[in-house]
Amino acid sequence: MFDIVIEDPVEGLESVPAGPELAAALAQVEMGGVDAYGRVEVWRAHQRLVAHYQAKGFLDVVAVEDHFLDRGDNEEQAFEGAAAEFEAAGALTRRGADSEVRLAEGVWRRLPAVGAALFRGDIDLRRARRLVDGTAHVPDEAARKIVDGLIDDAGELTPSQLAGRVRRRCIDHDPEEAKTRYEAAVEGRAAMTMSNLDGTATLYIHNAAPTEVYAAARHIDWLAREHKRLGDKRPIDQIRADVALDLLQGKPHTGNPRVLGGVHIHTTLEMLTRISEAPGELAGYGPVIADIARQTAEQQHGTPWEYTVTDTNGAVISTGTTKRGPTAAQARYARARHRTCVFPGCRMPAVDSDLDHQDDWQHTGRTDAEGLYPHCRHHHRIRHQHGWTYQELNDGRIEYTTRLGHKHQTQPRDPPLE
């Protein structure tokens, strides 16, 4: 049925369009003779194929809804009728069926660029959901414009990275609306408890200001690491949980009580002086509305400020600090150049990451600020224990070479704050 000629069936999979042709090409691959490097390529092809058929499934959902509309049902009736059909056919809950129909509408009707990308296998269902859900509160025309500006890179971003970019573009579109939505959400903040099936319980804080949440989390983390430094043998996550509960119950804790949780906000001088309403960026979280960034900055009277001078493309020219005395200039420079761990897709803030010598210090005997790259502890270990290597490309991206020989490039940061 399909005339497919691929000299190397594994290496050639990337060039085969998602759909029946790709399915036929995969059927020709003798898996027993495929090495570990090749199995990664086969996995990627299977993921593209899954995305393609998920897009076709959403076309089926939309077609059923269209059928009811053509029969004279109004939009609400057509939605309910289609949802009921798929609730029964797929053994779904009512809520699950409603969600399926809404997602199909978002993918093919409201944001056709998302449907087309899913159909091609350029993005998967998780990324499609981030695009559809993340723009749900934005008018249709603006949502399409936001998605059109992101869709080409969407498949190379992690779902969390993509969600952050969507959030930032939505704030840029209508800063006042974003502020109103934020203020309404914060009004609903609450502390809640939940019983778990295994007999444990969960405590969480809902809809709080992100700067306060991240400051509290950093304080808990610092105290937990102090326990670890003093010889505590428990896993760090257990210590963090116990420290948080001790603090909330008023129990004493070890460590310097003057060490408070801090936050790192990336912003612009124009935004701080109210010339611009462009969003700021909270390290480890993502975009925040301009008001939150300004309020956070205004509260930092007794703490040092770090500044970074960049060119119009966001490349670092110089850095500095308002703190007196000697500074870790090289560390500051490295973390200003790269705000997060440089491992592909990792969002751990640079301030919470190790600084890796691209050329091992034991081999060179010197430290060069240009050769320092932030790596979270996990990816720092992966880089050294599993033989991964990396280099910085001319455009500022980092190219990693895996143990199996695959090459992955980090995506450049979102355009500099304006």
Return the HEC string of the chain.
CCCCCCCCCCHHHHHCCCCHHHHHHHHHCCHHHCCHHHHHHHHHHHHHHHHHHHHHHHHHHHHHHHHHHHCCCCHHHHHHHHHHHHHHHCCCCHHHHHHHHHHHHHHHHHCHHHHHHHHHCCCCHHHHHHHHHHCCCCCHHHHHHHHHHHHHHHCCCCHHHHHHHHHHHHHHHCHHHHHHHHHHHHHCCEEEEEECCCCCEEEEEECCCHHHHHHHHHHHHHHHHHHHHCCCCCCHHHHHHHHHHHHHCCCCCCCCCCCCCCCCEECCHHHHCCCCCCCEEECCCEEECHHHHHHHHHCCCCCCCEEEEECCCCCEEEEEECCCCCCCHHHHHHHHHCCECCCCCCCCEHHHCEEEECCCHHHHCCCCHHHEEEECHHHHHHHHHCCCEEEECCCCCEEEECCCCCEEECCCCCCCCC
Note whether 201 and 195 are within 8 A (CB): yes
* The pLDDT value given to residue 17: 95
What's the mean pLDDT when you consider all of the chain? 84
- The mean-pLDDT minimum among 28-32, 236-240, 278-282, 383-387 falls in 278-282
Q: Which amino acid is at 138?
A: V
pLDDT tens for residues 187-217? 999 999 888 888 888 999 999 998 888 889 8
Q: What is the pLDDT of residues 222-235, one digit of tens each?
A: 899 888 888 889 99
Check residues 354 and 308 and name the one with the higher pLDDT: 354
What's the pLDDT tens digit per position in 316-341?
Answer: 666 655 543 334 677 888 888 888 89
Give the separation between CA 400 and CA 408, rounded to whole angstroms: 5
Residue 20 reports pLDDT greater than 80: yes
| pTM score | 0.73
Which residues pair with residue 354 across a beta bridge? 375
- Number of neighbouring beta carbons within 10 Å of residue 310: 16
| Region for 308 from its dihedrals, namely left if φ exceeds 0, alpha if ψ lies in -120 to 50, beta otherwise | beta
Instruction: Tell me what the mean pLDDT of segment 79-89 comes to.
Output: 95
Range with lowest mean pLDDT among 53-57, 294-298, 301-305: 301-305
With beta carbons less than 8 A apart as the criterion, state whether 179 and 289 touch.
yes
Distance CA 223, CA 355 (A): 21
